[in-house]
Chains A and B, each alone.
Chain A
């Protein structure tokens, strides 16, 4: 089967990963493999990759290459579900709880870290009611 080997520079939780193609090669399944975690014997003799795509399985994988005693490069794959289902994910309508750019500012964010010391602002304003300079007034009430 054909395998595309890449270098992935993104974190695991990135949907659309930043990958650069290393090479396209052929491979054979080693033993009993699942599509989620296949093990392949590559016709490629270096391990300078960490990511791969197997079109036959329709999946992208985090790749863990090793070299066996015969000098063959054996790679274990762990399905990258985000990249594999990228289009489906992006077409999904979901309830977005948190986001990097969208912010509902009227909802309390419990994750924000607040300093116990609060800032205080004291500001006077308006007219003076009790004027140091003004004389007081007496009101005499008589029958």
Chain B
């Protein structure tokens, strides 16, 4: 899977000049356990990528025994807090903690048995459990031997004799339980049973298949694995969000609670709310931006308190959420003697649970780990409790998943992955570049040769043999046949086509003359092949990486040069396909990166002109004339048997007897056949693709931002802007004099330093 660069790239810059490294988007080949550029380490609050809080306390690195590669454990921040106005950044920035030349690698290790906020999947690892060292026992990273075991956290709402309780079950057990409860008469129907047993959270464990014991085991605290899980967009969820925490808006109810709990509103008054102004109107909503990963409370009203009320409120009014967020709220009113309670439960649908888990990109089970009776080796016959997330061609999870036997039928690329680090190193076409490009597949049409001709792929030696056959006095060219009339052309290709499946070996037959020279009779004539792949790295990570500042020219052998459209290709990987038309000697190169970015047509072959052919035909014409004459003579001889043309007849007979020799003699003239070549300038060429990238050289002073400022182009409250700032036509509403306001405006337009 691929790093979701969108997740890592922020426009925010912190106060005190702490820089956020954005170079992670340079990484087109980001895999765990591979060496990384240390500059990817930047200050970030994992709990919400939109807010950044610098923290250096959680990062450490240690030398790795026997290697110059250091392993890094990175836990940017596990706190809920985000950098607020007035907070000071920690200095130095994390990137300064590393030597630029230091080699590091990322890994995941575990902390605790469940996936929780201390786990860091995909790009970082956890805090190091006490006693853990770099000799950490890494497990096999077989993608199909790792499984996420899903558990639900449910809340049993008081109903009849069923006492309130929080309990955990697997998803499949949950359904079974509901059926059993209805059968026991506890609930009248499944719908009611589920209403009073809302799923209020989910947890997950990682299991792995132990080859030694041949069964599935839960990953322990001191086992780790290296893998790489990313998500399509930032509004999907990382592993550490599985607890689905939410924050109360504050005034009512408790503070930040786990989704496994609830918001409780307690009323000590006897009022039902119907006639009391004090309790008549509760309104709970998000008054401020709520971090997307936290549950938010949709706007609703508690206009009345009603004993036993169970109300479902869908989370559709909150624009902070992805509409795919399958959460909803339930309100339950109940009383304990004279005390009135209202509980607000943040619930999630079963489908929501599966979709969240599917976003992890790993196989998951909705059954308990001990109940898994497959090792995932037979994908066509998996039980229904095994699910496989859908992963796009670009390596992103979609939240969709396949279950049971659907897995074997799916086209999801992860079906074929062997390792958790089998990332598909492709371009993120949905990384917010503004591009909306479909990955266009190349069609392969019918490439059979024209049936009216025969084509033979020959080596140089075979061509020489054929030429030899022409000059062989004992060749068997049928009388009256002119093989050259049947030769359409001889082309020379500067490549070895013998390795390509063009056809099978046969004797070359020219106008019924079996030359006894064997060559490959060509059936297909347009083989295409991928001849190269190249990633154009961004260097500046800004406009300088694009035209007209940076330009790129691609050379493709036999085709020439072409200017590449960097607007689309920059930072991405393109592929060069080479299509060769053997029949006509043409070739074409396609530069493809999702879409076709360029096409170049070239000439792959040079015609070999057989100059002696004309001479041969001339000789043949002479020979034909001779034969014609001889035939006439023979005819005359036959018809003149009664005529005394004996001398002539005798002479004709002598001529006839010499025909074979004459043909041989004429054929012998072919011994002078030489292939006269046309210019083969193209044969001497750079044999591989090459790219020439011309980049601008920018000489910025170190304090450029402080003295000149970077282009911001943003409308913001100035209290949220720091450092050197230039505004355009600011409208400052104040009670200064007109001259002072103009002076103030001039300052802001020419540049000021904001706190």
Residue positions of A touching B, CB distance < 8 A: 10-11, 13-16, 35-36, 79, 81-82, 84-85, 88-109, 111-115, 117-132, 134-143
Contacts and interface: CB of A to CB of B under 8 A. Distances in A.
B709 A99 contact: yes
Contact of A96 (B683, B685, B697, B727): B727
B736 A81 contact: yes
A97 B728 contact: yes
B637 interface: no
Interface residues of B, number: 119
B732 A85 contact: yes
Contacts, number: 339
Instruction: List 8 tightest A-B contacts by C-beta distance, closest first.
Output: A126-B532, A100-B723, A98-B709, A101-B13, A105-B542, A103-B710, A134-B496, A16-B755
Nearest to A124: B690
Which interface residue of A100, A118, A119 has the most chain B CB atoms within 10 A?
A: A100
A18 to B, nearest CB: 10
A88 to B, nearest CB: 4
A129 B578 contact: yes
Given A97-B711, A141-B489, A113 B699 contact: yes
Given A94-B727, A95-B729, A139-B490, A129 B714 contact: no
Contact of A138 (B11, B491, B736, B740): B491
Contact of A143 (B15, B453, B578): B453
Which interface residue of A82, A103, A138 has the most chain B CB atoms within 10 A?
A: A138
Interface string B736-755: 11011101100110111111
Contacts of A117: 697
B558 A126 contact: no
Interface string B685-697: 1111111111111
A98 B557 contact: no
B493 A139 contact: yes
A95 B510 CA distance: 81
A136 B716 contact: no
Nearest to A90: B719
A128 B543 contact: no
B368 to A, nearest CB: 49
A2 B731 CA distance: 32
Given A15-B755, A139-B493, 10 more contacts: A13-B747, A13-B750, A14-B753, A96-B715, A99-B714, A103-B11, A114-B697, A139-B455, A140-B508, A142-B456
B486 interface: yes
B693 A121 contact: yes
Interface string B508-534: 111100000001001000000101111
Contacts of A123: 534, 690-691, 693
A108 B550 CA distance: 12
A89 B487 contact: no
30 contacts: A10-B753, A79-B743, A81-B741, A89-B732, A91-B718, A91-B719, A92-B731, A96-B721, A97-B709, A97-B727, A100-B17, A100-B705, A104-B711, A109-B542, A109-B711, A114-B549, A118-B697, A120-B693, A120-B695, A122-B690, A122-B693, A129-B494, A129-B531, A136-B683, A137-B492, A139-B458, A141-B490, A142-B487, A142-B508, A143-B453
A132 B582 CA distance: 20
Interface in B165-222: none
A118 B698 CA distance: 9
Nearest to B710: A103
B488 interface: yes
A101 B176 CA distance: 56
Nearest to A134: B496
A79 to B, nearest CB: 6
Contacts of A135: 459-460, 496, 498
Contacts of A136: 460, 492-496, 683
Contact of A141 (B491, B711, B716, B725): B491
B733 interface: yes
Nearest to B557: A129
Contacts of A82: 744, 747, 752
B600 interface: no
B617 to A, nearest CB: 15
B379 interface: no
Contacts of B712: 96-99, 102-104
B314 interface: no
Contacts of B583: 139, 141
A67 B347 CA distance: 76
Contacts of B717: 90-93
A98 B753 contact: no
Interface of B: 11-15, 17, 452-460, 462-463, 466, 485-498, 508-511, 519, 522, 529, 531-534, 540-544, 549, 557-558, 576, 578, 582-583, 585, 605, 608, 683, 685-700, 704-706, 708-719, 721-734, 736-737, 739-741, 743-744, 747-748, 750-755
A134 B687 CA distance: 12
A88 B492 contact: no
A75 to B, nearest CB: 19
B37 to A, nearest CB: 18
A138 B490 contact: yes
Contacts of A142: 453-456, 486-488, 508-511
A111 B708 contact: yes
A40 to B, nearest CB: 18
Contact of B698 (A96, A113, A125): A113
Given A85-B736, A94-B718, A103 B13 contact: yes
Given A91-B718, A107-B543, A129-B687, A35 B694 contact: no
Contact of B696 (A100, A115, A130): A115
Nearest to B587: A129
A135 B12 CA distance: 58
A129 B731 CA distance: 64
Contacts of A89: 718, 732, 744, 748
A120 B704 CA distance: 25
Contacts of B466: 140
Nearest to B459: A135
Contacts of A138: 457-460, 462-463, 490-493, 608
A97 to B, nearest CB: 5
A114 B549 CA distance: 10
B752 A118 contact: no
Contacts of B732: 85, 88-89, 92
Contacts of A139: 455-458, 490-493, 497, 522, 582-583, 585, 605
A128 to B, nearest CB: 4
A101 to B, nearest CB: 3
Contacts of B491: 138-139, 141
A130 B494 contact: yes
Contacts of B694: 118-121
Contacts of A143: 452-454, 485-488, 511
Contacts of A15: 752-755
Contacts of B740: 36, 79, 81, 84
A104 B714 contact: yes
Contacts of A115: 696-699
B710 A102 contact: yes
A54 to B, nearest CB: 14
A140 B458 contact: yes
B714 A96 contact: yes
Contact of A122 (B542, B692, B697): B692
A15 B557 CA distance: 61
Contacts of A134: 495-496
Given A14-B752, A117-B697, A130-B494, A125 B532 contact: yes
Contact of A126 (B15, B485, B683, B689): B689
A124 B486 contact: no
B721 A84 contact: no
A56 to B, nearest CB: 14
